[in-house]
Amino acid sequence: MQTSDAAQGPQDAPPALTHRRVLVIALPIVLSNATVPILGAVDTAVVGQLGQAAPIGAVGLGAVILSALYWMFGFLRMGTAGLAAQALGARDGAELAALLSRVLIVAAISGVAIVALQWPLFAGAFAVAPASDAVEGLAQQYLGIRVWSAPAAIALYGVTGWLIAQERTRAVLVIQVAMNGLNVVLDVLFVLGLGWGVGGVAFATVLAEWSGLALGLWFCRAALRDPAMRAWAQVFDRARLIRMAVVNGDIMIRSVLLQGVMVSFLFLSAKFGDTRLAANQVLLQFLYITAYALDGFAFAAEALVGQAMGARARDVLRRAAVLTGVWGLGLGLLLAAAFALAGPLLIDVMTTAPDVRTAAKDYLPWMVAMPLLGGLAWMLDGVFIGATRTGDMRNMMVVSVAVYAVALAILMPPFGNNGLWAALGLCFAARGLTLLARYPALERGADAVPG
Q: Structurally, how many domains does the chain consist of?
A: 2
Quick one: 254 and 228 in the same domain? no
The band of 39, judged by pLDDT with boundaries at 50, 70 and 90, is low
Q: Is the pLDDT higher at 4 or at 300?
A: 300
Lowest-confidence segment of 14-18, 310-314, 399-403 by average pLDDT: 14-18
Residue 300 · residue 26 · CB < 8 Å: yes
Please say whether the beta carbons of 416 and 280 come within 8 A: no
> What is the average pLDDT across 362-379?
93
Q: Is 321 found in the same domain as 209? A: no
Q: Are residues 184 and 94 in the same domain?
A: yes
The number of CA neighbours under 13 Å toward the Cβ of 337 is 6
Helix (H) or strand (E) holding 402: helix 390-415
**Residue 451: predicted pLDDT:** 44
Q: Which of 207, 236, 265 is the last residue of a domain?
A: 236
Q: What is the pLDDT of residue 53?
A: 64
Residues 199 and 261 in one domain: no
Does the pTM surpass 0.85? The reply is: yes
Q: How far apart are CA 382 and CA 401, in angstroms?
A: 19
Residue 367 pLDDT more than 80?
yes
For 191-245, give the DSSP string. Answer: IIIS--HHHHHHHHHHHHHHHHHHHHHHHTHHHHT-GGGG-HHHHT-HHHHHHHH
215 and 256 part of one domain: no
Question: Average pLDDT, stretch 396-401?
Answer: 97
Domain identity same for 231 and 244:
no
Q: Are residues 34 and 176 in the same domain?
A: yes
Residues 177, 254, single domain; the answer is no
Report pLDDT for 448.
59
State which of 236, 254, 273 marks the end of a domain: 236
Question: What's the average model confidence in pLDDT over 164-178?
Answer: 94
pLDDT band with cut points at 50, 70 and 90 for residue 84 = very high
Amino acid in position 225: R
Structural domain of 409: 239-451
* Cβ density class 366-390: b for 16+ within 10 Å, e for less: bbbbbbbbbbbbbbbbbbbbbbbbb
pLDDT at 1: 37
Rounded CA-CA distance 266/275 in Å is 13
> Do 444 and 332 belong to one domain?
yes
65 in the same domain as 33: yes
Rounded to whole angstroms, what are the CA distances from 369 to 179, 339, 402, 404, 429? Answer: 35, 9, 21, 17, 11
The most confident of 43-47, 114-118, 259-263, by mean pLDDT: 114-118
pLDDT higher at 1 or 273: 273
Higher pLDDT, 428 or 55: 428
Q: Which pLDDT score, from 0 to 100, does residue 129 have?
A: 64
pLDDT band at 273 (very low <50, low <70, confident <90, very high): confident
> How far are the Cα atoms of 117, 165, 348, 379 from residue 299, in angstroms, in the given order?
33, 8, 32, 9
The torsion region of residue 12 among left (phi > 0), alpha (psi -120 to 50) and beta comes to beta
Q: Same structural domain for residues 264 and 223?
A: no
